[in-house]
Structure 1
Amino acid sequence: MTQENYYINGIYHELRNEHFQTEQSYTEAVKQNPDSLPARFSLAIFLAKMGKYEQARKELEIVLKQDNSISDGHYYMGVVALNLNNPVLAQKEFSVIENIPKYASISPYMQGLLCTKRKDYKKALEYFEKSISVDHKATASLEAKAIAHRKLGNKSHAFEAGRILLENDSINYIMFSEKYFLTRKNSDKSALKHLLRDDPELYVELAIKYAALNLYTEAIDVLSMYMQDWQISGSYPLVYYYAGYYYGKLSEYNKSLNMYYKASKCSTDYVFPNRLESFNVLKDALNKTQSDANAYYYLGNLYFSKVWLESAVDNWQQSIKLNPSFVLAYRNIALAYWKVNKDTKTAIKYYELALKCTSKTDFRLYYELDILYEQCAMTKKRKMLFESVPEQILKTRTDLIQRQAGFFTDTGKYEEAISLLLNNRFAMPERVSITKTIYNKAYMNLGKRYLAKKNYKKALECFNDMLKYPKNLGVGRKSITDDAQAWEMIAQTYRKMKKNSLAHKAEQMAARKSDLKGFDWLKIDKSGYILKNGVMETLFYS
């Protein structure tokens, strides 16, 4: 594959959020042509998005060394420097692009952000005003301006900045919280909570905005609104983790530990850390409480989502050491080895370990392990796996029943497969017909078995059943069907029965129902026309 193809593939995978393939493609493009600025710059930006700031910095240095006029390069170098806690470099890079129209509003905002971090609110205001003068609807600058005025004690100016912003954005979270911080009225607090709708992710997002300005007290106040209304057992752990991190920033060590302890007691269900800020939060939690298996699990998930495969697996393994019955951690390691490393042997090992845990009610363990067993031709293990599936799981998961029907078909138990398929109702995604494929395969092989035994009546019944579309299979008859194989077998059966006229009609149906693939008497030329014996013809479907 050429360097250009790798680069284009990287763009394609990035648009589809296929992170592992994206990094691999961009890296290979740069490897093949180190002087390719588009490929190297795309790799640098992608690395920054994945939280790989040090690697991104190195790539950006090479880009800017080759062409120092790339304004986007300076902007991203500033962002990377900010995340590497290098404010001097960040200030330098943002100031370079200050007079470039594209960054005329963003650059002063980022410089104001740096001033806010060192509590120089007066200087920060100057930058925010400059940003707003370029773009009067610059939301981030208007929010920061209101906050800076409040910190300077300019309440009237803070209210005015909030009023202007709410005219354009009537549900701006920052302005609702700023109004509460200015008045401390319960009515304003209630208005903010009503806006956040008991969604913990919204509370975390709002807290992060304050933390970005080093306003950790306000960040904790926001998170506390959520924590006051929920018991730990039904709460969202990331709220506590972030609160613990922010308490640590305020040097309140005991409160930080208390929050981390509460986070460790929350359920892990439906918790998927995805923000880059969560790296520092979870790492800090583990520095203070090394016994939190859940924190290792969350950090592993976060690493995996950002293409840090080895770090992800290491954290999941640490989680298992602390909690040997943590089924999800076993499954995640198995998926990483299977889907990314293509190491089916190790993947099978971890799935089997997961199934040895006391809690093995997750149907996906059986479903995914059966796929691996099938790929590795482990027929005996497939049989043992289905025999071990708890009855309550098998009864409620038709996708697992589908796998079992496929197993029966693969092992010659066609009647059992057909019975499973006809006695259960399947819900298949649009354009997916795997259940019908298994159904057809079972009837095809059963019909061939009858045909070999010269039981032509039963064989015809099986091949005719292939032409049916039972409603319970979740797929309807297509406008253009692919029933050619069934008609071919019907024709063969009639030939065996010496019923040549019926065989001929069946052969005609096979030709008409063909999907135009794999039939010797039908060919398609490059223009797409159908050729029969070298003469162009039209094929009609009925």
Structure 2
Amino acid sequence: MVAESKYDFFGGYDHQQKAGVVHFANHHIAPGKKLWTWGNSEFGYAWDRNLTDSDGPYIELMAGVFTDNQPDFSWLHPYETRTWSQFWYPIQEIGPAKNANRLAAVNLEQTDGRQRVGVCVTEPFDRAKLLVTTGGEKVLEDIRNLEPGKPYLRNVLAEGNPVLQLFTKDGKEIIQYRAEAQSGRTSLPEPATEPPAPKEIHSNDELYITGLHLEQYRHATRYPEPYWEEALRRDRFDSRSNTALGLLKLRRGQLTEAEMHFRLAIQRQTKRNPNPAEGDAYYYLGLTLQYQERLEEAYSAYYKAVWNYAWQSAAYYQLAEIACRHLDFDRALEHLEQSLKTNTEHLKAHNLRTAILRKLGAHAEATKYAQGTHALDPVDSWSRHELAALSAKKSRLIEQSATGSGTRTATQLHLDLALDYAAAGYWADARDVLSTYAAKSGQRVYPMVLYLLGYCADKQGDHAEAAAYWANAAKASPDYCFPARIEEMIVLQTVLRASPDDSRAHYYLGDLFYDKKRYEEAIHEWESSAKLDSAFALPWRNLGIAYFNVHNNSDKALLAYESAFKANPGDSRLLYEWDQLRKRSGICASQRIAHLESHPDLVSQRDDLTVELIALLNQSGQPEQAMKMLLSRRFNPWEGGEGLVSAQYVWSHVLIGRSLLERGDWDQALAHFSAAREYPQNLGEGKHLLTRETHLDYFSGLTLSEMGRKVEANRCWNRAVADSHPITWLTFYAAMSLEALGRKTEADKLFEEIRTFAEHQIQADVKIDYFATSLPNLLLFEDNLQKRNHVDCLFLLALSELGMRNTERAVELLNEVLTLDCNHIAAQLELQHLKRMPAVAGTRQ
């Protein structure tokens, strides 16, 4: 990542291929410049194989506009349009570009006492002049015809700090380059830090800012509400935190709570001055009231918002919608004119004006405006639809996108367009958009299209037609139907007031509530759905997740998943989730194996299910069968599953190797310990550079020692000792290696260090790291972090006791670990080994 740059370009260059790419954009609004690669270890090479062809490593060049870095964001105002230009183009043979713009990239570098000149252009230049000077004297002057794809290369003698310039035949400078002295900057930006807990923050200002950051960055495990709620605990009328919390509630469809917070904010803002400097609380209060159909109150709130310049465009547009609802089209046009004065690229304002003019019969004027909007944004769906309506032709939007690979996107575009018409009370237009699209969709009509059609019909007073649409929606396939808009929430609530026995509407509303973190309401809707249609798998599945994650009730969750799988026994994803729940609920390995092996066709469909079965085989003492499965399948890595397959590959070799070692088959045992270090390509992932192999070093050393190869054994043990920290369960093998090397005092000290660490850590209040980027344990079911920490610490305590020959206590602790987590493979391994083979000659195998 480039921390700071005053240049408008960056790029990458492959020296082997003698080719590269340049990105050019205004660095004041496009400061983000970043290169990402997986590196040159086996881990990186595996990702190269997964993500690229065979022509080199995987490289990402990332350019950020209105953002400094990949996870950074900036703010957009309602209905704001931002435009920018950026240019990517290839370069050849010139080496890394030292300067570049839209027209050319140049390089000037010293090679063997000469200056190597390189130029690539993006368009033809006849009789372009290339000039290289040093100390004011010409070193090179060359007139050439330049073309894209044909680099100019030249070596010249030049001392000092030469200047390269490229001119058109008319003498206009295209680009220049002169080496600049380093700026001398030595400091890097301060690294980001985890924000304190709300109660640890002293000022309401910082509480507000911290909450705003967490909301904007959509942090996975930290939420903004506690910060704003703490601010309001200290000052109930804090205007900024009330506005922020009100907006959060509005986005979740909690309109009553949102209204309360906006009114509290306004109460503080207007305590001294009836006309506050900010209009956001008034604007969002208006939006909240408009969603509640309290149009007169909303109209007044929006009008107060327009007193603030920043909110004029957005608020005037909402006023226009309400004026249309009241059939006051002249007033609506006035509002739209005002809206466009402060935001000329407000596409919705342009489009609503066009729709009003069309309705008023001013087709020529409407067409002119629609064409202008289409020119502003050729892919804008509303202006395309208006142009089609004005020309009395089938909607180009529908014709171009109703079929083919873009169907899901097209569905959402049509819902957006229909909702735009509906917001202005143009129910017939909304119905026209949706009914035409539904006819084009054939038998697989998206349910929300039909629900919204019924809603519009109901608004027009056509209740019988509405009921028919809603009945058809309830019969439509629920596949990939995930309503997310507040308007869809309102539609579904309207449907359920009229048709409370609609199982699907309950299900969709439950999905929407859960997405908005309204968990109890979601559970209620899913329970209603499942009660009305017990053969519908999805609400049962969702209830299983909610019962476990929200209610912490694994028994109810298991029953819900059993009902889900009974309803849809051919769904391999359901089987995977059910097994994960059984794992979290402490179902033993033998039961889980039997369950999975009774559905071999489903297991074979999924890598995650397959690796789970492999793990169970390893746990249950069948590593040979696990290895057979590992080597007979091509695995594909997935997000959240990184390292799972390779971990089981290593475990299989360790388990087989230890068994062979105990039986005295040392050659084969050593072969397995060695093989565990090399990951075959079919696993889909390579070994990470930082992978710890302390246990492999220890067992390899034991095996080599039994074979009489003491020097090699000592080398393995020393390698294990060098990998003793940070303390994990693998540290135990470093201590055992110290003991094997005859360094018992150091070994005992390390065993004691493991115990001390575990005794301290078991008391810790653990939480997910603030900067964690991958949370595989939270992909589906919430992990009990305190329990996980407790189990890990108990296992460390067991290992420390084992190392210090307190075998009876070690066995007690290992059994305690397995009582809490019967799937703890490392604890199972140690306990099984103790039962088979107690300590031999003072050294454990």
Please tell me the TM-score bracket, short chain as reference.
0.7 to 0.9
In structure 2, relative to structure 1, the CA distance for the partners of 1:19 and 1:491 (3 Å cut) is closer
Deviation at 1:208, TM superposition (A): 0.7
User: Contact 1:196/1:203 (CA < 8 Å) preserved in 2?
Assistant: no
Task: Give secondary structure in 2 for the equivalent of 1:223.
Answer: helix
* Alpha-carbon shift at residue 229 of structure 1 (Å): 2.2
**Residue 363 of structure 2 aligns with which residue?**
155
Q: CA separation in 2, counterparts of 1:150 and 1:38? A: 42
2:482 counterpart residue number? 272
Say which is worse superposed, 75-84 or 421-430, in terms of deviation: 421-430
Q: 1:323 and 2:533 equivalent?
A: yes
For 1:2, give the aligned amino acid: P
What corresponds to 1:401 in structure 2?
610
| SS at structure 2 position matched to 1:251 | coil
Tell me what 2:622 maps to. Answer: 413
Secondary structure (helix, strand or coil) at the match of 2:441 reads coil
Q: How big is the shift at 1:19? A: 8.5
Residue in 2 aligned with 1:217?
428
Mapped contact 1:424–1:472 kept (Cα < 8 A): yes
**Matches for 1:465-476 after TM superposition, within 5 Å:** 465-476=675-686
Partner secondary structure for residue 618 of structure 2 = helix
1:25 aligns with 2:234: no
Secondary structure of 1:85 counterpart: coil
1:191 equivalent in alignment to 2:402: no
- What is the deviation of 1:201? 2.0
| Structure with greater helix percent | 1
Q: Does 1:58 align with 2:260?
A: yes
Decide which of 102, 110, 126 is 2:318's aligned counterpart: 110
How far apart are the structure 2 equivalents of 1:113 and 1:449?
76
Compute the displacement of 1:468 (Å): 1.5
Residues 39 and 510 of structure 1: CA distance in aligned 2, closer, same or farther (over 3 Å): farther
Q: Percent same amino acid among aligned pairs?
A: 25
- The size of the alignment, in residue pairs, is 517
Distance 1:19 1:116, change over 3 A: farther
Which stretch has the larger CA shift, 480-489 or 466-475?
Answer: 480-489
Deviation at 1:512, TM superposition (A): 6.5
Which 5+ residue runs of structure 2 have no aligned equivalent?
1-196, 202-206, 271-275, 404-409, 736-745, 747-845
| Shift in Å, 1:253 | 1.6
Q: 1:354 to 1:414 in 2, by over 3 A?
A: same
- Distance (Å, rounded) in 2 between the aligned partners of 1:292 and 1:220: 22
Residues 1:480 and 1:17: Cα distance change in structure 2 (over 3 Å): closer
Q: CA deviation at 1:60?
A: 1.8
TM-score normalised by the chain length of structure 2: 0.57
- Root-mean-square deviation over aligned CA pairs: 2.8
1:200 aligns with 2:411: yes
- Change beyond 3 A, Cα 1:307–1:403: same
**TM-superposed deviation, 1:137:** 2.0
- Measure the CA separation in 2 of the matches of 1:508 and 1:20: 40
Which one-letter code corresponds to 2:501 in the other structure?
S
CA offset digits 1:220-243 (Å, max 9, x no partner) = 1111211222333x2222211111
The answer to which structure has the higher strand fraction is 2
Q: Which residue of 2 aligns with 1:540?
A: none
Contact 1:435 1:473 in 2 (8 A): yes
Report the secondary structure of 2:648's partner residue. Answer: helix
* Greater alpha carbon shift after TM alignment, 120-129 vs 167-176: 167-176
Asked if the contact 1:23–1:46 (Cα under 8 Å) also holds between the matched residues in 2, the reply is: no
The CA distance in 2 between the partners of 1:15 and 1:381, in whole Å, is 45
- Residues 400-427 of structure 1 show CA distances to partners (whole Å, capped at 9, x for unaligned) of 1111011112222222222221222211
Which residue in the other structure is 1:79 paired with? 287
- Equivalent of 2:672, from 442, 462, 479? 462
- Greater shift, 411-420 or 218-227, is seen at 411-420
Shift of the 18–362 alpha-carbon distance from structure 1 to 2, 3 Å rule, reads farther
Are the counterparts in 2 of residues 399 and 426 from structure 1 also a CA contact under 8 Å? Answer: no
Amino acid at match of 2:687: R
Shift of 1:41: 3.0
**Structure 1 residues 235 and 439: alpha-carbon distance in aligned structure 2, compared to 1, 3 A threshold:** same
Aligned counterpart for 1:89 among listed residues 272, 297, 313: 297
Letter in 1 for 2:382: I
Deviation at 1:56, TM superposition (A): 0.9
CA spacing shift, 1:167–1:515, aligned 2, 3 Å: farther
Q: Which amino acid aligns with 2:223?
A: T
Pairing partner for 1:381 from 591, 599, 604: 591
Once residues 23 and 245 of structure 1 are traced to their aligned partners in structure 2, the CA distance between those partners, rounded to angstroms, is 34
Q: Is the 8 A contact 2:279 2:307 kept in 1?
A: no
The residue identity in structure 1 corresponding to 2:255 is: Y
2:382 corresponds to: 174
Relative to structure 1, the CA distance from residue 511 to residue 471 in structure 2 (aligned partners, 3 Å threshold; closer, same or farther) is farther
Aligned mate of 2:635, from 426, 434, 444: 426
Matched, 1:3 2:3: no
Using the TM superposition, give the Cα deviation of residue 475 of structure 1 relative to its aligned residue in structure 2, in angstroms: 0.6
**Is the Cα–Cα contact under 8 Å of residues 320 and 333 in structure 2 kept in the other structure?**
yes
CA distance in 2, matches of 1:412, 1:37: 63
Q: Given that residues 408 and 417 in structure 1 are in contact (C-alpha distance below 8 angstroms), is that contact kept between their aligned partners in structure 2?
A: yes
Structure 1 residues 341-396: Cα deviation after superposition (integer angstroms, max 9, x where no partner): 44333222211222333x2111122212222222232105323422332x321222
Aligned-residue offset at 1:160: 2.3
Gaps of 5+ in 1: 523-531, 533-542
Shift of 1:196: 3.9
Matches within 5 A, 1:292-303: 292-303=502-513
Which has the higher relative contact order, 1 or 2, with Cα contacts under 8 A spaced 6 or more apart? 2
The residue that corresponds to 1:14 in the other structure is 215
Which range is displaced more, 207-216 or 454-463? 454-463
Cα distance in 2 for residues equivalent to 1:111 and 1:399: 52
Deviation at 1:10, TM superposition (A): 4.7
Counterpart of 1:251 (choices 457, 461, 464) is 461
AA partner of residue 266 (structure 1)? A
- Deviation per CA, 1:222-269, whole angstroms, max 9, x where unpaired? 11211222333x222221111111111111122112211221221111
* CA shift for structure 1 position 291: 3.3
TM-score of the pair, normalised by structure 1: 0.87
CA–CA separation in structure 2 for the residues paired with 1:403 and 1:28: 42
Distance change >3 Å, CA 354–CA 30, structure 1 → 2:
farther
- Say if 1:37 and 1:63, in contact at 8 Å, map to a contact too: yes
Change over 3 Å in CA distance of 1:45–1:447 after alignment to 2: same
> Any conservation in 2 of the 1:260–1:285 contact (CA below 8 Å)?
yes
Structure ID, larger Rg = 2
Give the secondary structure class of the aligned counterpart of 2:604: helix
Corresponding position: 1:41 with 2:243? yes
Q: 1:19 touches 1:306 (CA, 8 Å); kept in 2?
A: no
- CA–CA separation in structure 2 for the residues paired with 1:370 and 1:27: 39
For 1:194, the aligned partner's letter is: E
Paired with 1:487 and 1:54, the residues of 2 have a C-alpha distance of 63
User: Displacement of 1:190 after TM fit?
Assistant: 4.5
| 1:170-200 residue CA offsets vs partner (Å, 9 max, x unmatched) | 232222222333342x3xx252323444422
**Rounded Cα–Cα distance in structure 2 between residues aligned with 1:25 and 1:250:** 43
Return the offset for 1:479. Answer: 4.1
Residue 529 of structure 1 corresponds to which residue in structure 2?
none
Tell me which residue corresponds to 1:535.
none
Q: Is the 8 A contact 2:286 2:299 kept in 1?
A: yes
Please point out which of 442, 453, 467 is paired with 1:231. 442
Establish whether residue 499 from structure 1 lines up as the match of residue 709 from structure 2: yes
| Structure-2 residue corresponding to 1:165 | 373
The corresponding residue for 2:309 is 101
The one-letter amino acid paired with 2:226 is S
Aligned residue number for residue 700 of structure 2? 490
What letter matches 2:303 in structure 1?
A: S
- How far apart are the structure 1 equivalents of 2:383 and 2:663? 80
For the residue of structure 2 that corresponds to 1:396, the secondary structure is: coil
Q: Matches of residues 511-522 of structure 1 in structure 2 within 5 Å?
A: 518=728, 519=731
State the distance in 1 between where 2:632 and 2:340 align. Answer: 66
TM-superposed CA distance for 1:21, in Å, is 5.8
Contact residue 371 and residue 387 of structure 2 kept, 8 A: no
**CA distance change for structure 1 residues 10 and 382 in 2, over 3 Å: closer, same or farther?**
farther
State the Cα distance separating 1:490 from its structure 2 match: 0.8
Compared CA separation, residues 94 and 284, structure 1 to 2 (3 A): closer
